[in-house]
Amino acid sequence: MAKFEKTEDVLTSREACELLRISRPTLRKLINKGEISAFKIGNNWRIMRTELERYVREKSTARRTSPETDSSHHPPGTG
């Protein structure tokens, strides 16, 4: 069984949206697509803080390594 060090480890959807600076519909889309893991207590979504940290880390790593942001990548004939 999971042990929580602090009650802040489990976030409401509102708290998660504030941390990610996204809307609640956007959060629901990310949950439905499986990009963010969440669980329901009654009718309310809960998200682990570590899950949000994983999501942000994954997205920031993907952004840094994508061809669009890789300064060593040049279209043919330009570099």
Region of residue 12 (left: phi > 0; alpha: psi -120 to 50; beta: else): beta
Give the residue-averaged pLDDT of 52-67.
86
- With a threshold of 0.85, does the pTM exceed it? no
Question: pLDDT per residue over 3-38, tens digit each?
Answer: 656 667 999 999 999 999 999 999 999 999 999 999
Task: Dig out the tokens for 20 from the structure.
Answer: 């990610």
pLDDT score recorded for residue 78: 53
- Whole-angstrom CA distances from 47 to 12, 22, 77 are 6, 14, 47
What's the CATH fold of domain 7-61? Answer: Molybdopterin biosynthesis moea protein, domain 2 (3.90.105)
Region of residue 7 (left: phi > 0; alpha: psi -120 to 50; beta: else): alpha
Sign, CA dihedral 39-41-44-48, equals: negative
Task: Map out the domains of the chain as residue ranges.
Answer: 7-61
